[in-house]
Structure 1
């Protein structure tokens, strides 16, 4: 199995071998979403597929590790990420602020990682219920892929640990505004002995990514796989790569989150300079944690790719101060990050052109 170790080779494989499969599955889920009977659930499902498809594109790159099994691996990644994005929309745009409702919705993400778990009434604490089996179908797709994995028992505890962190975060961050920070701070206090020294909002960011789950599943498709490698992957991606991923996501969304009254973890730094110093620290620690992992250079490309792709977003380019700070991070990432930065700008321009032509 050849895993690309050079940025140009990586992006060639991504455009030729990954994105076509990603969009094949996204089109299938879009078709199912269009058939959802309930108007609110249908709109949120379709909006999540339209506005957050880049999450699926980015996550699916990790499927290159799974070699000849990349179609199955991508099928899992798209289904799991689609659950994540759909539920995020339901919680963000919802009239509900009930943590019991959010907990039940996110039980689907834990069930999706638990082979043999029965699907539940995930909408039982909300008014909008009839999705025509959409969420159950996503959960069962994930379970079906995992059931074919010989090494599923080796990764299951790590999958559930990372997913539990993720689900806890989604519950705490979507409740009534005045309860969000106290809940997240209390949650951090219960876990801070198990993570490196960081602030509560940084820990929250580290739990908000699905990259570690995708990486574990991709490696579990390989013939030889042991618990020591599963632990190494978990430790390589959590907390620093996952934290960097989400902090960059929040960095570019600061303005719209402020307008929408949404929680933004980057807003808790005392200054933009402190925020950039911590982001630089996360970049360095992410590299350190990857030392010795199989396909180390590939994972470093993922790390550099996160920087390039997020910092190439026009929300950064059009914000003078943020653009200046972003350039500092790009320089830190070196030529590889510059490559992904310009690639990201070109890809977004191509997408805009394609959308104009199609409309």
Structure 2
């Protein structure tokens, strides 16, 4: 299967090839989540799938890089992203503020990346523990996919680095409010010398994406990875493409995060002008870093797709200032962004018009 290089070709592949497998996999994991004995864990597992399906849909687009191993790539991406969303719910909506608890939970994401890693007691630092084997099954699903990858040792160090960034972010950002900012700043200072010029909250955003991991896994499944390419893909996605991804996520969530008192990295910009300037900078840098990647045009479409999907979200239209910023970003980003933007608006309208059908599809 060839890698799409046009907006229309990409959307055709997404709807015809990728989404059916994503929804099939989500149906399976939704059924497993429904069997969780503990009420709190079951509620959070089901909610993470119900309200964050688009995370799996978006991440699974990178499975198109896996060649004939599309199903295997989607299986990994859906399982790994489902763990990410589930654990995020447990940390966000938990009464626990214990960093040891968050670290123990996220050991699951580390174990996903080692085929023979023994399962650990991921809930050991919290009261709610009985999940009927749900989290362990997700981990084993990821392990079963990577066990089939030849020369996996080439990719593993880069996967491990990106996973460590992600897990550390989740640990630091979910502690008590008065501690989290200082923890994030100290964490940033440990890595700052190896990073391009950016602020601590921008680094945190770059760490919070799973796209680099999905890209590396997909290329590895296609047996197209050597040491040089593994580094190129890592450097292509981290920090700027991943940073663009998460900054867009935080950009559109500002209103609800203010109401909920949640951490939002966009709050730290001095003003809207600075926010827009840095968002455009991340777009430009993300584009620059696609040029050295294999299938460079595909990766540039991913950047444009991120803009279109996030900026077409209904949340944007409920926030006057964000709506204005979004229009400027779309105009700056060219016709491909407009294409994905219009597709995103249409997709959401259809979802609203036929909610029962979409619920059935996942």
Q: TM-score, normalised by structure 2?
A: 0.98
Q: By how many angstroms is 1:317 displaced?
A: 1.6
Matched, 1:114 2:114: yes
Q: By how many angstroms is 1:356 displaced?
A: 5.6
Q: By how many angstroms is 1:292 displaced?
A: 2.4
**What is the 5 A alignment of 1:57-136?**
57-136=57-136
**What is the 5 A alignment of 1:271-286?**
271-286=271-286
Partner of 1:196: 196
Report which stretch shifted further, 279-288 or 315-324. 315-324
In 2, Cα distance between equivalents of 1:169 and 1:356: 36
| Residue pair 2:159, 2:216 contacting (<8 A) in 1 also | yes
Q: Secondary structure of the equivalent of 1:131?
A: coil
In 1, Cα distance between equivalents of 2:318 and 2:184: 32
Tell me the matched-pair count: 359
Partner of 2:211: 211
In 1, Cα distance between equivalents of 2:166 and 2:190: 15
Partner of 1:238: 238
Q: Secondary structure of the equivalent of 2:334?
A: helix
Sort the Cα spacing of 1:305 and 1:116 in 2 relative to 1 into closer, same or farther, 3 A. same
In 2, Cα distance between equivalents of 1:205 and 1:193: 17
**What is the 5 A alignment of 1:284-323?**
284-323=284-323
Matched, 1:37 2:37: yes
In 1, Cα distance between equivalents of 2:117 and 2:223: 26
Partner of 1:158: 158
In 1, Cα distance between equivalents of 2:172 and 2:179: 8
Moved over 6 A (4+): none
In 2, Cα distance between equivalents of 1:356 and 1:66: 32
| Residue pair 1:151, 1:221 contacting (<8 A) in 2 also | no
* Unmatched segments (≥5 aa) in structure 1: none
Report which stretch shifted further, 220-229 or 22-31. 220-229
In 1, Cα distance between equivalents of 2:317 and 2:37: 40
**What is the 5 A alignment of 1:216-231?**
216-231=216-231
In 2, Cα distance between equivalents of 1:43 and 1:169: 24
Q: By how many angstroms is 1:352 displaced?
A: 1.4
| Residue pair 1:101, 1:126 contacting (<8 A) in 2 also | yes
Q: By how many angstroms is 1:358 displaced?
A: 7.8
In 1, Cα distance between equivalents of 2:175 and 2:144: 33
Superposed CA deviations along residues 296-328 of structure 1, whole A, max 9, x for unmatched, are: 000000001000110001111222221111000
Partner of 1:329: 329
Partner of 1:20: 20
Q: By how many angstroms is 1:357 displaced?
A: 6.7
* Unmatched segments (≥5 aa) in structure 2: none
Partner of 2:250: 250
